[in-house]
Amino acid sequence: MRVGIVCPYSFDVPGGVQFHVRDLAEALLARGHDVSVLAPADDDTPVPPYLVAAGRAVPVRYNGSVARLTFGPVTAARVRKWLATGQFDVLHLHEPVTPSLGMLALWIADGPVVATFHTSLIRSRPLQVAYPLVKQSLEKISARIAVSEDARRTLVEHLGGDAVVIPNGVYVDQFAGAERDPRWTGTPDAPTIAFLGRLDESRKGLPVLLGAMGRVLDAVPGARLIVAGRGETGAQQARELLGERAGAVEFLGSVSDEDKARLLASVDVYCAPQTGGESFGIVLVEAMSAGATVVASDLGAFSRVLDDGAAGVLFATGDSADLAATLVRVLGDAELRAAVTERASEAVRRYDWSAVTDQVLAVYEMVVAGAAAPVGEDPSSVRGARLLELRRTRGETR
């Protein structure tokens, strides 16, 4: 099967959606399918051979984060060329209502189209604004996937229609087989806690975790917090909140996939203190696969991944005092950690890419079987392209 996958977010600064797209493409390639991915990326950005770079992206604030997107007539021309060259049996768009490549591809293409929705928001002004612009194009979608019940609910409430829930995937065995690293391995007197995430995004919850560390250190003086992720604010926050004990927090910066797996395999606890905007929580599954005990905020998405607290330990979202008490309890109870990680090692199997790819392929096969022709160009998009070019010449868009 020839599969075209469109990622709206730039591979210059990859995040959860980009990693999902990358892993899905590689899982499909491993099964013998022909896959091409279209995504924003600068010309000098290292990308895998199956990825076609759609050019430079610009940073835009979206869903409490900063997304790097690309849009406009030049980008639309690149999408059109990629579609014509690809001759795809099925087109798989991620976040098609985000003003980037997916929206353009949905507008330009016709034929078997699958769309995956990742976003989970209680109220989404961007979606409300985008809906009138994409309402007609959304009717082209042959099948919809949501990565979680939270993402499905966002889709239903803001865009209408429904979706089958297929979770994000993880190569479970890669994390389960990761070797421990002595730099990050804890001991009973000096246990280690890990956090991974963008440090400058408040919704990732690092301030909540740093706010808990003082009480943790009061009870467990040898504890260490190891922080991995991009951003400049974390060290200053640690100094402000912990003073002379800020040395108990180590900042690694960005880490490779291999070091991430080793870190998660080494620490006693992985902490996910996010405060909102999470539709799934892929890093929870990675930590569970690696054997770390997960302590997470009781967001709906996290609670579902952790089987309502059986495969991880939950605390009240945004509450540093409750997080501190939870961490102290978990660090001091080896039997609790063993029971939780055993349940987690069973639960993660449903998220392995072997299972997830089967489900995605079943959707592909369904839409291809029901289609009269493979993916082609929607004739009505040509007139739209002329209008977009006119707007560009007037300075209304890029």
Specify if 368 maps to a domain.
yes
Helix pair 234-242, 206-219: axis angle to 10 deg:
40
Q: Tens digits of per-residue pLDDT, 116-151? A: 999 876 555 555 555 555 667 788 999 999 999 989
Give the model's pLDDT for residue 177: 97
Work out the burial of residue 261: count CB atoms within 10 Å of its CB; fewer than 13 is exposed, 13-18 middle, 19 or more buried.
Answer: buried
Which percentage of the chain shows pLDDT scores above 90? 67
How does the average pLDDT of the chain come out, rounded?
89
Domain end, chosen from 351, 369, 385, is at 351
Quick one: 288 and 221 in the same domain? yes
Specify if 187 maps to a domain.
yes
Quick one: 178 and 316 in the same domain? yes
pLDDT at 384 > cutoff 60: no
From the list 327, 337, 330, 296, the residue with the least C-alpha distance to 213 is 327
Report the alpha-carbon distance of residue 249 to residue 270 in Å, rounded: 14
Quick one: 271 and 160 in the same domain? no
Quick one: 18 and 156 in the same domain? yes
Quick one: 151 and 241 in the same domain? no
Question: What average pLDDT score do residues 226-234 get?
Answer: 87
Higher model confidence: residue 290 or residue 379? 290
Give the model's pLDDT for residue 397: 47
Quick one: 377 and 290 in the same domain? no
Quick one: 87 and 195 in the same domain? no
Quick one: 289 and 242 in the same domain? yes
Quick one: 119 and 218 in the same domain? no
Q: Which CATH number fits the domain that encloses residue 51?
A: 3.40.50.2000
Question: What average pLDDT score do residues 281-295 get?
Answer: 96
Specify if 398 maps to a domain.
no
Specify if 6 maps to a domain.
yes
Which percentage of the chain shows pLDDT scores above 70? 88
Quick one: 165 and 177 in the same domain? no
Give the model's pLDDT for residue 398: 46
pLDDT at 360 > cutoff 60: yes
CA 167 to each of CA 144, 314, 397: distance values in angstroms, whole numbers, following the listed order:
13, 20, 35
CA 378 to each of CA 31, 307, 337, 383, 384: distance values in angstroms, whole numbers, following the listed order:
30, 44, 55, 10, 10
Report the alpha-carbon distance of residue 200 to residue 205 in Å, rounded: 10
Angle at 320 between CA 318 and CA 325, to 5 degrees: 125
Specify if 191 maps to a domain.
yes
pLDDT at 392 > cutoff 80: no
Report the alpha-carbon distance of residue 299 to residue 277 in Å, rounded: 9
Task: Please give the model's pTM, rounded to 2 decimal places.
Answer: 0.84
- Name the pLDDT band for 76 (thresholds 50, 70, 90): confident
Question: What average pLDDT score do residues 364-379 get?
Answer: 93
Q: What are phi and psi of 80, to 5 degrees?
A: -60, -45
Question: What average pLDDT score do residues 303-320 get?
Answer: 97
* Boundaries of domain holding 134: 2-169+352-393
Give the model's pLDDT for residue 125: 53
Give the model's pLDDT for residue 234: 81
Q: How many domains does the chain have?
A: 2
pLDDT at 65 > cutoff 80: no
